[in-house]
Amino acid sequence: MVFEFLRNAGAFIVALGILVAVHEWGHYYVARLCGVYVKRFSIGFGKPLWRKQGSNGTEFVVAAIPLGGYVRMLDERVDDVPAELSSQAFNRQSVAKRMAIIAAGPGVNFIFAAIALYAMFLIGISTVKPVIGDIAPQSIAANAGLAAGDEIIQVGSRHTPDWEAVNFELISHVGDSSMAVTVKNANGVTQQRELLIDGWNFDSDSESPLRSVGITPFTPAATLNVAFVGEGSAAKSAGVQVGDTIVALNGETVADWQSLVAFVKDNPGEHVTLSVNRAGQTYDLSATIGRRDTPEGQDGYLGVSPYAEAWPEGYVFTHQYGVFEAMGKAVDKTWRLMTLSIEMIGKLVTGDVSVKNLSGPISIAQGAGSSAGYGLVYFLSFLALISVNLGIVNLLPLPMLDGGHLMYFTIEWLTGKPVSEEIQEWGFKIGAMLLFTIMSIAIFNDITRLS
């Protein structure tokens, strides 16, 4: 638990540091191009832990609180500006230049996402074809005629090479009345099915989009060979070892892993005799099935995991492309992440997506830790996703965000005069209240998920 916390915290700080640096560098770089004097470039808030004065006069700072950053530009509205530097003040720049400086932060977030995905596709990332393993009876998928063994090759107009793509496209249809899904069956015949999803929604805390429509992805069957034994578990106390094959329970032959799991789950606290084959010898081990609290009551558990059968040929493949093809794939995926983020914000506003789906820093930290644990390519994918979301959120027309500033500058450009200080002040107050409310909901959701 301590290791997981430290891993998540470390990965979160690294990820946030990278993304904040990228975002603020966009503001800084374009500000310098526009001739604006930048007083400070800070990663983090609070007490400086490291600082360095640049040759152009900018102070570069890494501060103690790693929850954001800022670029402090010379501005006559808040600084006493010497006459010789007035032309370098932010407020003296044309509307077009000020808009470019503000838009550069989110813009560079999108560019960074494409670069991260480009690197990911060059290195290669392993993934699985979206082949259906099972369909729940009377489910949305069953009513549409989807069947086990079908490969989902397209949802709507978007090609779906793997389960991640399928999940993204399913989510994009929340709030719609129907959804077209193109599948290819085991005989290679392609058919389009229409899923009727009027009123369909799902709780992301308890189920995936796939399972909510009745789809279980194909995975190789579990064997009875033990791959993992948990420390302090019932199986460990009984003497079960990695590599053992479970052959009988209370003297009766175990048919498959699912039947073993079903018995154990239904009999918490029961004393059983577990027969295992170890290096050609059979051993009878005495075990007391453990207890685990669940929302429905108590389940039994042994604390073992099985080896699985091998994947069928062709089911697992690697997304890896050459120098030029990877570029196109990266741009396409970045664009899809951007449009999907905008769609989800719209569905939050209309109520098609519940605010319970909002995630805050705790969930982001968990995602950062998990992706980093899987390896560099998965961490790059995570960085791209969060970078796109950071860019989109910052473009929302809320005062205090880049989008709010762009809204004011657009009004100034259209009317020929700046928005009054009084209106801006009220806007910032309202924006701060809305942001505080959204963040409070997101953090509350994070805490609820932990409990």
Residue 361's φ and ψ, nearest 5 degrees, are: -60, -30
Q: How far, in Å, CA of 338 to CA of 386, rounded?
A: 11
Residue with tokens 């175990």: 254
* Alpha helices (runs of H) in 291-359, residue ranges in sequence order: 323-350
Q: Which long-range contacts (CB under 8 A, 24 or more apart) does 392-396 make?
A: 392/106, 392/338, 392/341, 392/342, 392/345, 394/23, 394/105, 394/106, 394/109, 395/103, 395/106, 396/345
Q: End-to-end CA distance of the chain, in Å?
A: 15
The residue type at 343:
E
Q: CA 88: distance to chain centroid?
A: 40
What does the longest C-alpha to C-alpha distance in the chain come to? Answer: 93
Residues belonging to the active site = 24
**CB neighbours of 387 closer than 8 A, spacing ≥ 6?**
19, 22, 109, 110, 112, 113, 116
Element (H, E) at 261: helix 257-266
Count of C-beta atoms within a 10 Å radius of residue 204? 18
Specify which residues 297 forms β-bridges with: 294
Q: What's the CA angle centered on 205, arms 202 and 210, to 5 degrees?
A: 45
Q: What's the CA angle centered on 33, arms 30 and 38, to 5 degrees?
A: 70
Q: How far, in Å, CA of 39 to CA of 62, rounded?
A: 14
| Residue 176 contacts residue 146 (beta carbons within 8 Å) | no
| Residue 309 contacts residue 220 (beta carbons within 8 Å) | yes
